[in-house]
Amino acid sequence: MNQQIAPDDEDQDSLQAYFKPDVSPDDLEQVFRLKRAQPVLQAFTALFHGGADGVLVRLLVLRELMSDTQSSAFTRADINTRLGYLIPDSLETVLARLRSHGLLAWDPAQGVYRITPIARNVVAAIDGLLGMDKEEDDADMGYVLSQVAGSQAVGGVSIEQLHHLLGRLVELTEEFRDAIASGSEFRLRAAQEKWHAACDWVEKGSEIIHAITTDSRADAATHRAAQAIGRAQSALLNMQGMFSRALNQIERQRVHLGQSGLSTTDIKTWLMRHEDLASLASEAISLPVTPMFITPSEMIDVAETELFADKRNAVNSVLPAGENAAVTASEASTIPAELDAWLTRLSAFATDSSGSTKVHDTLLPANFAVASYRASLLPLLGDESESALQGGTATMARLPLEFVPKDGMVKLKDPHVAAMSIASLTPKKDIQSTTQPNTQPDIEHDR
């Protein structure tokens, strides 16, 4: 059985070994860009290849040499004096590695070391990342946004940098939506604090995005990326209402302990502050628990007593006299049947293509009680909150009808209803652009 083994970094002979046989890496755009940046990648390899301690020492040496702004050249004696706290052999190994990878340049004519421009760029990028205060950047957007701002200032913002910022905004939006969907109050509040930090960065980034979109020198891809970032920022800012609704829902469901003013949230917060919850039980019981033991003989005596007691009670007990069960006649409510009939009638009006229908023609004929019940349901037509529910009233809210009331009353020749508000029911396809808000029509009893 043949088993394919992934190529090892040390034994890698060519880049093609990582790709499928029918795929050429030179045909990929990203491979071309990475190959073009090979000197920079080699500089990072020289710094970060190996153990963490070795990486720390290499960065220490470079940063220490770059901190001297008085001279651009260093003799070996100067380096030994500045880095006298390092072992000479270890210092020599670090200098040789930096020199062999082009981070330090040796000038044999003058016998001095010089820091190369690529080394300054690499260390400056690392210092920019290390300089971001984690406590002030909970949203982890500061470094990416600073790169976009710096590139925009010098007129060289790239589409990749904009994509990095867009990707971070999308990640934050999904993270906040997951926190809202979780229903956890603690996760919601932590996400809300992070959202506030992200909004601060969004305000700072809006000016940069505006400058990019108004820059006539930017290409179409850059404009599209900037516009996508603007939409992602809007979606992020619009989550404030979602946080408020979720927290209000949790507030309504919070359980309070009697009249103490404490809630389950307060107790959970107090418990979370203790690293060792088991320690709370220390000295909680003043006396140790003493187990009680019973011999088998005592257990038999108790069981025998209980058994005979049950038999005596069974013999002496008398069943109670029987009684006739009370017969009650239950009348089913007529409201569901009346609602079903009303929905059937309204559905017929919704499919009528002749136009609007007067309300009194839809409510009547019926007695005053039924007509009033039907009229009370008319404001539910088109109600979005009601249509999202289940049941008869929700079905009525989803009907394609519009209730349009008007001022005034119309007198009717009906034995039960003397007058009714002027209103009409109109199918949705025939609704005009101007409508009035739904109100229940007034019905006057024919006395």
Choice between 142 and 11, residue whose per-residue pLDDT is larger: 142
Spell out the domain ranges in the chain. Answer: 25-129, 133-247, 337-445
Confidence band (pLDDT; 50, 70, 90) for 446?
low
Neighbours of 116 (CB within 10 A): 17
Give the percent of the chain with pLDDT over 90: 0
pTM of the model: 0.44
What is the model's pLDDT at position 31? 86
Q: Hey, how many other C-beta atoms are within 10 angstroms of the C-beta on 191?
A: 23
Asked if 416 and 368 touch (Cβ cutoff 8 Å), the reply is yes
The pLDDT tens digits of the residues spanning 392-423 come to 788 888 888 888 888 888 888 888 888 888 88
Do 416 and 371 touch, CB atoms closer than 8 A?
A: yes
pLDDT at 6 over 50: no
Residue 434's pLDDT is 38
| Counts of helices then strands in the chain (DSSP H, E) | 18, 7
- Token pair listed for 89: 């052999």
Range with lowest mean pLDDT among 48-57, 375-384, 432-441: 432-441
Decide if pLDDT at 207 tops 80: no
Q: What's the rounded mean pLDDT across residues 209-218?
A: 76
Q: How confident is the model at residue 314 (pLDDT cuts 50, 70, 90)?
A: low
Tokens 């003799």 label which residue? 75
Higher pLDDT, 23 or 68: 23
Smallest CA-to-CA distance from 139 within 231, 74, 233 is with 233
CATH number of the domain located at residue range(s) 25-129 in this protein: 1.10.10.10
